[in-house]
Amino acid sequence: MDVVGATTFAFVTAFGGGTLRDLLLGRTPIFWLMDPWLSITTFAIAIISFYLINRISDKLLLIPDALGLGFFSVLGATFALQMNLSLLVASLMGVVTGMFGGILRDVLCNKIPHVFKSGTELYATCSFIGTWAFIILIVFKVDTSLASWLGTFTVLGLRILAVRYRLTLPLP
Amino acid sequence: MDVVGATTFAFVTAFGGGTLRDLLLGRTPIFWLMDPWLSITTFAIAIISFYLINRISDKLLLIPDALGLGFFSVLGATFALQMNLSLLVASLMGVVTGMFGGILRDVLCNKIPHVFKSGTELYATCSFIGTWAFIILIVFKVDTSLASWLGTFTVLGLRILAVRYRLTLPLP
Amino acid sequence: MDVVGATTFAFVTAFGGGTLRDLLLGRTPIFWLMDPWLSITTFAIAIISFYLINRISDKLLLIPDALGLGFFSVLGATFALQMNLSLLVASLMGVVTGMFGGILRDVLCNKIPHVFKSGTELYATCSFIGTWAFIILIVFKVDTSLASWLGTFTVLGLRILAVRYRLTLPLP
């Protein structure tokens, strides 16, 4: 894959979930159209990574990936709650926002999305539980930014535990 | 595939077409965001199917699949007509709405969508003819709910005939 | 692939980029819903090509493909500029609009999109440079339709040069 491919995948992974969220909620123009610095930053990181870094071990990527999953999940739920959608829908929006970037990246690479394979450690489940933790805190009037951090770190912590202990969902 | 994958595919198949329809028409927030019971029902059916049912024969799925194709096709055309779009565009919206869920599911499974393969029995064609039957009835001021049922059953009947007699489109 | 598949791919390639552009910018209903003649023309060309033409050499497709890339790129940037988005975002919208149709077609065919593979001659790069040429001309108050033609032909010219001399991006 060349630098255009690599840059595209960085964009897709970073912006895919939020783009779907904004489309589904009708928040247009989409978020990254409004602030060029988001694109500049992603562009710069992608090009630097492509030319300077030979190979990042998958383990090193676990933490930023899980942090992104948590952050995007909480943000997705936040926007849904702001529009007075139901709590269930807000939690789904959190999970969709958290996971869609990675799914889209895998589809463009012509792979079955990693998160759908049996044998993958808990991923959507971490997002789901962390998003619900955030939503419940909001329902109980906990301060929004405190609730956001707690939700994000719940996702991060669960994901690290899932990989560490190879937790998977029960098969039928 | 684990239960998260199975649930996701149930959502994608059930909601994919209607989501694309709402996005293209600018009807946001998307339909399933407004009514959590749609998600709860789909969620429940998906989980029960995953854990309780070992294997459904493809033949058993033909009828609900064809009914869904008909129902979604007519609904897609209905919304387009309500927005005073042209009849041709309404028929395209019907076909897109009817088929997109299955296409998206196949893309996520990393398969060539079934409906695009030569040798597949008529599928898009059934949706197209049934949608036009519905549209023509509407143009002639037939009662909307009667027209909807006739359109849906036209799709269903054509699809059953196509599979029964292995009808395919002529190749060049 | 049968005629439904072929027609679908014609639609996806022709309308994919503009559809994504309209969705991201919030311009709904989408452009091809408003004018049925766009669909009729595409439909007719696709069916005629499918039944009459046995095999078009890839070389013959280079010029219309590169013209389409240039035209869609400039159009994408134009709409973004009309909404007063930043120049960088307008250039991204140009590239996305120009390339997305082909990417979506490849994804539906279950292939890795051609433009992402290393070893492919410059493609996104041609769109990017031509879109910026157009944007800079607009910034300097050059007549819009002159700027559009110059931008489109920049993309076309660069793409022909890239294929002729097998220009690719440097690998790391």
pLDDT tens-digit map of B109-161: 888 888 887 778 899 999 999 999 999 999 999 999 999 999 999 999 999 99
Residues of chain B positioned with their CB less than 8 A from the CB of C33: 24-25, 80, 85, 89, 93
Q: Which residue has the higher pLDDT, A113 or A86?
A: A86
Q: Which residue has the higher pLDDT, B91 or B61?
A: B91
pLDDT tens-digit map of A3-60: 888 888 889 999 999 999 999 999 989 999 999 999 999 989 888 887 777 666 667 7
Which of A108, A116, A168 to mutate against chain B (most B CBs within 10 Å)?
A116
Chain A closest CA to C32's CA: distance in Å?
18
- Distance CA(C153)–CA(A140), nearest Å, equals 60
Residues of chain A positioned with their CB less than 8 A from the CB of C171: 2
Chain C closest CA to B52's CA: distance in Å?
32
Chain B closest CA to A48's CA: distance in Å?
30
Statement: residue C84 has pLDDT above 70: yes
Answer whether C51's CB lies under 8 Å from B172's CB: yes
Task: Write a three-state SS string for chain A.
Answer: CCHHHHHHHHHHHHHHHHHHHHHHHCCCCCHHHHCHHHHHHHHHHHHHHHHHCCCCCHHHHHHHHHHHHHHHHHHHHHHHHHCCCCHHHHHHHHHHHHHHHHHHHHHHCCCCCHHHCCCCCCCHHHHHHHHHHHHHHHHCCCCHHHHHHHHHHHHHHHHHHHHHCCCCCCCC
Report CA A121 to chain centroid distance, whole Å: 16
Mean pLDDT of chain C: 90
The stretch B80-94 carries a mean pLDDT of 95
pLDDT tens-digit map of C123-159: 999 999 999 999 999 999 999 999 999 999 999 999 9
Residues of chain C contacting A, Cβ within 8 Å = 23-26, 80, 83, 85-89, 92-93, 103, 107, 110-113, 115-120, 123-125, 168-172
pLDDT for the residue B160: 93
Residues of chain A contacting C, Cβ within 8 Å = 1-5, 8-9, 19, 23, 26, 28-30, 32-34, 36, 39-40, 50-52, 54, 107-110
Nearest chain C residue (CA) to B113: C108
User: Tell me, what's the ipTM?
Assistant: 0.87
CB crowding C94-119: b at 16 or more within 10 Å, else e: bbbbbbbbbbbbbbbbeebbebbeee
- When pLDDT is cut at 50, 70 and 90, the band that residue C58 belongs to is low
- Distance CA(A96)–CA(B115), nearest Å, equals 26
Q: Which chains touch B (3 or more CB pairs under 8 A)?
A: A, C
Answer whether C94's CB lies under 8 Å from A39's CB: no
Q: Which chains touch C (3 or more CB pairs under 8 A)?
A: A, B
Nearest chain B residue (CA) to A117: B1
Q: What is the pTM of this model?
A: 0.91
Nearest chain C residue (CA) to B102: C108
